[in-house]
Amino acid sequence: MKLKKNTKIRLSTGHLLVIWDVIANKLSGSPFFDSLNEEERRALWALQDLSEAQILKIGIEGKPKDEWELLMAAARKHVRTIPVEFLD
């Protein structure tokens, strides 16, 4: 298996924002994150970096706190509409 081969995952902007927020603001520094081994933390850090790069690429940056909070609230609301196999 070619583990270095890149893959494509299609995510909506709202989904991407929530994933980034969870990794950057909820997991970082948490006891759960600290319990992960180096490879697991590195995988999440890389996903955070990729998410941040894509968020910047689509032009979402430098928003005032109030605007950012509204955007994240809308992103979380959007995520509730995403079909999830586990829940279906």
pTM: 0.88
Phi-psi label, residue 83: left if phi above 0, alpha if psi -120 to 50, beta otherwise: beta
Q: Which domain holds residue 74?
A: 13-79
Let me know if residue 74 belongs to a domain: yes
Number of domains composing the chain: 1
Let me know if residue 28 belongs to a domain: yes
71, 77, 80, 82 alpha-carbon torsion, rounded to 10°: -50
Let me know if residue 26 belongs to a domain: yes
20 and 77 in contact (C-beta within 8 Å)?
A: no
Query: pLDDT for 22-77, tens place per residue?
Result: 999 999 899 999 999 999 999 999 999 999 999 999 999 888 999 999 999 999 99
Q: Residue 88 pLDDT > 60, yes or no?
A: no
Which pLDDT score is estimated for 61? 87
Which pLDDT score is estimated for 63? 87
Let me know if residue 59 belongs to a domain: yes
Which pLDDT score is estimated for 86? 76
